[in-house]
Structure 1
């Protein structure tokens, strides 16, 4: 149950908080030894496999249409789900089939190998509209919660932990009632913003230059790893964000548009000062000592073509936007965003779009509003914090 993809990570820094002493994760997770049976609806249940990609795509898009969700998925997106080596569909997924073998329900529990501050398990799933109101959704969600608790316990990471679900705010009320009845509470709120690009005479694009000799350059494979390091630094103080491993960073790119993506580099960084800065992480320090390029801000964009008909317009989507903490206040992230917006215009996209965490105190909403972005849809993350 929840939105197709988690909201993009656009720049909105918040201060980290001190974590109190915690009991072991195995104790806090309270994982059941066995998973609850799903008997409602008379479906046959088994784990999902890569052979299910076409059926899973059809089911997920049917659910999205019935729930009036503002997106659709592609075959490539679903195929890529099964390509990530850390996903364990044999134990972390389940699909329900009728007597004719039609897939009518599914559930997945998603965890990430890079979690180092909060161990998270996100729950995704849904039921075909033709078999709703039979109790399937309630039992399926109970399975997800139980499996999510097992995943957290099995991680062995004695960190703060979270079971999370994302829902569209205008989605089915019954779905949200099931989630809240299981003990989940609203924790974070997100909005999707769009900016009209069709009349630049009336609303010109911002002309932004980063300060201090920084350069905006097109994204390239050669700068990919440096961009990952910049992202991990930029979002280290962002609520709910975790560092990405190289394999995580390179996964989920079926819609990625490198020609719409830009990074800001410092050609002459003060290596001595950065190495002396306690906020410089070990991976960045190693890259600086090796003389690798230093990416200080970035804008990573995607093209979700399947969404165009649903939304009624074409758009470029800024999926990731951030600035290294040592370089904030130099308009680097804004310069990267402006370059991305120009790339959208050059490819005749009608709008620029992005998601933002509404709870951030950084003034991000005000910045986006000043650039002409307006709210279109909203979503909520509900969670159980352990």
Structure 2
């Protein structure tokens, strides 16, 4: 019996993933929850920003998480750096529940739909949260299908450790915990190590002029990290409301006429969090070292320089967030510098 001849192109076609528009399994029509019980459901617009800020504040005052979302951060939900869609439940002229779905324009490796929302405390236990979550999943599938990209995709919800009700709702709808994160802090009253880099490396203040070089360096440093996406200038500038320039630093290699970014540390100042946390802190938002300079104590030099800047401005702690599965050994580095875990969170996803 002759051996069949298999066309390699046929194999490639059969193994290629279906288009995202198919994989997303988006509903053709998405009906919002029915009005009733004194509630009216309608899409949110930028004109509803003040009502959203008020609702987020009421939710956090009742739940007392160890952070507070500033008005500026809340209004970033409406930012043009991502496509967004939002639904709200209104009781007369008062917003009592909301759900957002956001798909970032810059995603290329994996297209992500981020879901977030909340229900005012006095309206909980009435099914609003579950109804919003069902709407968000359907809307996320629609927005992913509309993205005109063929990359893998996921629907994402971030869950703090104590949000057991939300975690249960997500599991029942097909979400699974995919990644875990730890919030760490370091007491700045303890001695801060003196770390000096060998020439031609030096740690220098961040400046607006070097910011785009740092963005390009970040894309290289995190190119092989799980879930990392390349930043465009627009997405890199997103979320800078609380950026602290005087707490941010760059490690430069000046071995040639043109300095190269070897590492970088970007900090934020979240004053509104401190009463809820119970302490003041300088927050390390992003820390990265490029492959050619790893093993040369660049990260330690950046962290200790930032610690001194935080302490000089009267901060009690240095804070940061770390991926529990970070492959670079970052967690061990932080622990060796005196950081301690305070709380955690998980990323729940539906993979598409």
- What is the match of residue 327 of structure 2? 361
- Separation in 2, partners of 1:264, 1:315: 22
Partner of 2:30: 35
Instruction: Decide which of 89, 97, 104 is 2:96's aligned counterpart.
Output: 104
The correspondence for 1:77, drawn from 61, 73, 79, is 73
Q: CA deviation at 1:334?
A: 2.0
Change (3 A) 1:117 1:212: farther
TM-score w.r.t. the length of structure 1 is 0.83
CA contact (8 A) 2:81 2:238 kept: no
Residue 209 of structure 2 aligns to a residue whose secondary structure is helix
Q: Distance in 2 between matches of 1:50 and 1:107?
A: 14
Match of 2:9? none
What is the alpha-carbon distance in structure 2 between the residues aligned to residue 234 and residue 156 of structure 1? Answer: 28
Does the CA contact (< 8 Å) of 2:83 and 2:105 recur in 1?
no
CA contact (8 A) 2:221 2:291 kept: yes
Q: 8 Å contact 1:121–1:164 — kept in the other structure?
A: yes
1:213 aligned residue: 200
**1:128 & 1:155 partners in 2: Cα distance?**
32
Alignment of 1:1-386 (within 5 A): 21-39=16-34, 41-82=37-78, 84-89=79-84, 92-99=85-92, 101-171=93-163, 173-198=164-189, 203-268=190-255, 293-386=259-352
Q: Conserved in 2, the CA contact under 8 Å of 1:186 and 1:382?
A: yes
Number of matched pairs: 337
Q: Distance in 2 between matches of 1:106 and 1:232?
A: 33
Unaligned runs of 5+ in 2: 1-14
After superposition, what is the alpha-carbon deviation per residue over 1:50-70, rounded to whole angstroms, capped at 9, x for unaligned?
232222122112222333321
Cα pair 2:83 2:103 within 8 Å, conserved? no
How far 1:312 sits from its partner (Å)? 0.7
Q: CA deviation at 1:86?
A: 3.3
Instruction: Judge conservation of contact 2:281–2:318 (CA < 8 Å) in 1.
Output: yes
TM-aligned CA deviation for residue 109 of structure 1:
0.8
Alpha-carbon distance, 1:44 to partner: 1.6
Structure-2 separation of matches of 1:340 and 1:329: 19
Cα distance in structure 1, aligned partners of 2:149 and 2:197: 40
Q: CA offset at residue 351 of structure 1?
A: 0.4
Task: Tell me the equivalent position of 1:8.
Answer: none
Give the strand-richer structure, 1 or 2: 2
CA RMSD in angstroms comes to 1.7
Residues in 2 aligned to 1:115 and 1:62: alpha-carbon distance in whole angstroms: 32
Q: 1:139 to 1:292 in 2, by over 3 A?
A: farther
CA deviations on 1:259-287 (whole Å, 9 max, x unpaired) are 00001112235xxxxxxxxxxxxxxxxxx
Which residue number in structure 1 is paired with residue 7 of structure 2?
Answer: none
1:329 is paired with a residue of what secondary structure? coil
Between stretches 216-225 and 335-344, larger displacement belongs to: 335-344
Partners of 2:253 and 2:64 in 1: CA distance: 44
- The 10-residue stretch of structure 1 (208-217 or 37-46) with the greater mean CA deviation from structure 2: 37-46
**Structure-2-length-normalised TM-score:** 0.91
In structure 2, distance between residues paired with 1:265 and 1:370 = 24
The structure that has the greater radius of gyration is 2
Residues 32 and 41 of structure 2 are in contact (CA less than 8 Å); yes or no, is this contact kept in structure 1? no
Q: Which runs of 5+ in 1 are unaligned?
A: 1-19, 270-290
SS in 2 for 1:155: coil
Q: Please tell me whether the aligned partners of residues 83 and 104 of structure 2 are also in contact (alpha carbons under 8 angstroms).
A: no
